Structure 1
Amino acid sequence: MEQYEVISALSALAQPTRLTAFRLIVRHGPDGLPAGEIARQLEVPQNTMSTHLAQLARSGLVLAERQGRTVAYRADMERMRGVIEYLVNDCCGGRPELCDPLINDITTHCSPVEKRAMR
């Protein structure tokens, strides 16, 4: 991933509504969420939410898919992975054991909800 792509992604997330929307979309996994539902859950006017979702889409963090009369958004997890890889590419100066806590924290959040609740 190129530096400008990472900057675009991070810039898109550097706004509270877009960051919250992205996190909401990520929680809904590969099925995504219709734009109107995102606006409703975040209590943001639909036209305002549309602008935020367009910015996330331009950055490549979300993919828009028309489903009849609505547009559903889902996170592009490959793109997010690319951003994270770019950020930690040179992690720990060749000592991978120093990155283990970061990797463990990320994978902990990816485990099923039932397992996380038990921790």
Structure 2
Amino acid sequence: MEMSDATAAMSALSQPTRYRCFQLLIQRGQASAGELAEALGTPANLLSSHLSILSAARLITSVREGRSIIYAPDKARLAELISHLVSMASA
């Protein structure tokens, strides 16, 4: 993993709402934006911004299903980040 990718991912997770959103997606496997907004008690328009940042950091993926967008964690990307951090600690 490139340093810029690692810092983008860690930066995206450094904000509490985004961290909690990502945590919920890890726990649930997937969720719609509406489900996430309700679970977090966050207005949908604000959550959309957070989801965009997580998506730009490639920590989540999205798929349109009808009128909804379903978000899921990118577990492979998370594994890359973890591996990167472990290798730094081992150096």
Q: Which TM-score applies when normalising by structure 1?
A: 0.74
- The CA distance in 1 between the partners of 2:88 and 2:19, in whole Å, is 25
Residue of structure 2 equivalent to 1:71: 69
- For structure 2, the 5+ residue unaligned runs are none
Superposed CA offset, 1:37-95 (max 9, x none): 000110000000000001000000000111110101100000000000000114445xx
Query: RMSD of the alignment, in Å?
Result: 1.0
User: Which structure has the greater CA radius of gyration?
Assistant: 1
User: Residues 7-47 of structure 1, C-alpha deviation per residue, up to 9 Å, x if partnerless?
Assistant: 00000000010000000000012xx1001100011000000
Percent of residue pairs bearing the same amino acid type: 37
Gaps of 5+ in 1: 94-119
Tell me what 2:10 maps to. 10
1:52 matched residue in structure 2: 50
Give matches, 1:96-107, under 5 Å.
none
Larger RCO of the pair (alpha carbons < 8 Å, separation 6+): 2
| Amino acid across the alignment from 1:86 | H
Which letter maps to 2:76? E
Aligned residue number for residue 41 of structure 2? 43
Distance 1:67 1:92 in 2: 42
Aligned residues: 91
Runs of 4 or more, structure 1, over 2 Å off, are: 90-93
